[in-house]
């Protein structure tokens, strides 16, 4: 697959999957309270670390026989699609609480970005975007997957901290989840068909 296509797929899938995610909402809340560039810097660093871990995990998968990897990756894509589809019909109980309030001394770049990093870093473990990046890295060039997925997550973080909470009412989150589910399902079917033809 052409390198721009790999970057594009990784970007689109992670961007859409992250929109309804808890990390996006945490960044959004912090962005309404603190300087947006500070919040984004911490979130961006956390996303980059998670994507590095995800593509490394994907490379570990490549040590297994190719057909086994394709079967696992196809299954995980389909499972991710099922999870997102199920989530889209669940109530949207995303809390935008005051959990991001820092209190104490005057906020500084290092305090705000460190808090943003910590919140996103902890929230992203086992996230659908991390699993998707690992799956993509098992099939395609991990550097390209890392680049595309990280850019996708950075774009979501930038959107979250710059747009603000009032915009949430115009974003049809359930439909974003369903579109992402359809993309993941397509990737799962493509992977399964490729494995059967190999």
The 10s digit of each residue's pLDDT in 15-64 is 888 776 666 666 766 776 778 888 889 889 988 998 998 888 887 766 66
What average pLDDT does the segment 118-131 reach?
A: 75
Lowest mean pLDDT among 60-64, 126-130, 189-193: 60-64
Q: Is the pTM of this model over 0.75?
A: no
Cβ neighbourhood burial of 27 (10 Å; 0-12, 13-18, 19+):
buried
CA torsion sign for 105, 107, 109, 112 is positive
Asked if residue 118 has pLDDT above 70, the reply is: yes
């Amino acid at each position: 697959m052409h390198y721009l296509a790999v970057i594009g797929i990784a970007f689109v899938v992670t961007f859409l999957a992250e929109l309804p995610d808890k990390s996006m909402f945490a960044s959004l809340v912090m962005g309404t309270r603190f300087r947006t560039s500070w919040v984004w810097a911490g979130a961006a660093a956390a996303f980059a670390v998670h994507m590095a871990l995800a593509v490394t995990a994907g490379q570990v998968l490549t040590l297994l026989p190719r057909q086994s990897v394709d079967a696992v990756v196809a299954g995980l894509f389909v499972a991710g699609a099922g999870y997102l589809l199920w989530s889209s019909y669940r109530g949207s109980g995303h809390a935008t609480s005051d959990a991001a309030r820092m209190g104490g001394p005057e906020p500084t770049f290092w305090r705000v970005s460190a808090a943003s990093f910590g919140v996103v870093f902890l929230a992203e473990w086992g996230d659908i975007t991390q699993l998707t990046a690992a799956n993509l890295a098992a099939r395609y060039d991990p550097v390209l997957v890392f680049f595309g997925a990280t850019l996708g997550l950075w774009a979501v973080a930038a959107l979250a901290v710059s747009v603000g909470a009032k915009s949430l009412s115009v974003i049809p989150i359930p439909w974003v989840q369903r579109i992402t589910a359809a993309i993941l399902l397509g990737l799962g079917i493509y992977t399964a068909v490729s494995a059967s033809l190999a």
